[in-house]
């Protein structure tokens, strides 16, 4: 295993029934850095995150997190290993019978014996970080799509995990909140050394935040620092980055 990588997918094959999602996927995500997972719709970005989280098991190959193949873990071991991982889902996945405050507090109540006053302070702090100070008493059904995304992020980082998996963290957000979430993710990455893997369509945000990129393709996967990807003249990379940023020529991104 390459020690610089927190997560490595080695020769992963996965099919849903007749449909093959990955034939032989190999890629890695460096420890303590922000990585952007790019690719067209249906390319399998969310599936990669679910494989890393152990929510899906590959048909073949290994998914190593901290050197341990999560695809081979028993349920109890897998559950323990997830304590180090936070994850946000595309639709938020907040429990709709609980208020925003209760949702964010849930991991703390389940896994710690934190005094109530400290818990309340921690949850309020996280809600303030994502701009939801006044939304603690609301139910998820009363929130906008962007607010749900932000509440889900607050819940994912409340336990201060070692790794954060974000599925489209910037969709449904207005520009002000895109900046707010960018700042929060950067702060968590710098303060806690958090490894962040974000599946996103937001190329500008990806280029401004990520220090590592993985572009999923039909036949091959390209990965490397953003500057290398921006200079890449492989037709597949040029096509994807050009379609996302019309008028782009190789090397045009920072």
Please report, as ranges, the residues that interact with another protein according to CB under 8 A: 50, 53, 55, 79-80, 82-83, 85-87, 89-91, 93-96, 106-107, 110-111, 152, 155, 159
Provide the minimum distance between the beta carbon of 237 and another protein in the complex, in angstroms, as a whole number: 31
In terms of CB distance, is 2 or 112 closer to another protein?
112
Secondary structure (3-state) at 6: strand
In terms of CB distance, is 39 or 92 closer to another protein?
92
| Helix H or strand E segment including 75 | helix 75-81
In terms of CB distance, is 39 or 86 closer to another protein?
86
In terms of CB distance, is 72 or 83 closer to another protein?
83
CB 156 within 8 A of CB 172: no
Token pair 């020690």 is found at: 3
* Cross-strand bridge partners of residue 5: 30
Provide the minimum distance between the beta carbon of 70 and another protein in the complex, in angstroms, as a whole number: 12
* Cross-strand bridge partners of residue 85: 163
Number of H helices, E strands in the chain: 9, 10
In terms of CB distance, is 158 or 203 closer to another protein?
158
Provide the minimum distance between the beta carbon of 98 and another protein in the complex, in angstroms, as a whole number: 10
Q: Exposed (0-12), middle (13-18) or buried (19+): which is 81, by Cβ within 10 Å?
A: middle
Give the residue from 173, 197, 199 showing the smallest Cα distance to 185.
Answer: 197
Provide the minimum distance between the beta carbon of 157 and another protein in the complex, in angstroms, as a whole number: 12
In terms of CB distance, is 38 or 85 closer to another protein?
85
Provide the minimum distance between the beta carbon of 203 and another protein in the complex, in angstroms, as a whole number: 25
Provide the minimum distance between the beta carbon of 140 and another protein in the complex, in angstroms, as a whole number: 9
Q: Which residues contact 108 (CB under 8 A, 6 or more apart)?
A: 114, 119, 122, 123, 158, 159
Q: What DSSP string runs through 136-189?
A: TTS-GGGS-HHHHHHHHHHHHHTT--SEEEEESTTTT--HHHHHHHHHHHHHHH
Provide the minimum distance between the beta carbon of 217 and another protein in the complex, in angstroms, as a whole number: 26
How far, in Å, CA of 220 to CA of 157, rounded?
Answer: 32
In terms of CB distance, is 56 or 215 closer to another protein?
56
């Amino acid at each position: 295993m390459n020690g610089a990588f927190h997560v490595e997918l080695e020769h992963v094959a996965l099919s849903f029934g007749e449909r093959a999602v990955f034939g032989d996927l190999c890629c890695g995500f460096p420890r303590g850095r922000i990585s952007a997972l790019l690719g067209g719709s249906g390319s399998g970005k969310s599936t990669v995150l679910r494989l890393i989280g152990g929510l899906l098991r590959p048909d073949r190959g290994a998914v190593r997190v901290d050197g341990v193949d999560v695809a081979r873990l028993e349920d109890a071991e897998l559950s323990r290993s997830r304590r180090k991982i936070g994850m946000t889902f595309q639709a938020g996945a907040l429990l709709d019978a609980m208020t925003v405050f209760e949702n964010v507090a849930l991991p703390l109540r389940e896994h710690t014996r934190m005094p109530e006053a400290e818990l309340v302070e921690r949850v309020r702090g996280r809600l303030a970080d994502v701009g939801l100070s006044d939304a603690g008493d609301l139910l998820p059904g009363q929130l906008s799509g962007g607010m749900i995304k932000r509440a889900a992020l607050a819940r994912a980082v409340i336990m201060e995990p070692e790794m954060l998996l974000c599925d489209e963290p910037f969709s449904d957000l207005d520009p002000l909140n895109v900046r707010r979430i960018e700042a929060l993710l950067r702060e968590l990455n710098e303060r806690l050394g958090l490894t962040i893997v974000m599946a996103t369509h937001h190329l500008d945000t990806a280029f401004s935040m990520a220090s590592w990129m993985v572009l999923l393709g039909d036949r091959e996967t390209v990965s490397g620092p953003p500057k290398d990807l921006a200079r890449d003249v492989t037709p597949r990379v040029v096509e994807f980055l050009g379609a996302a940023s019309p008028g782009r020529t190789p090397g045009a991104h920072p």
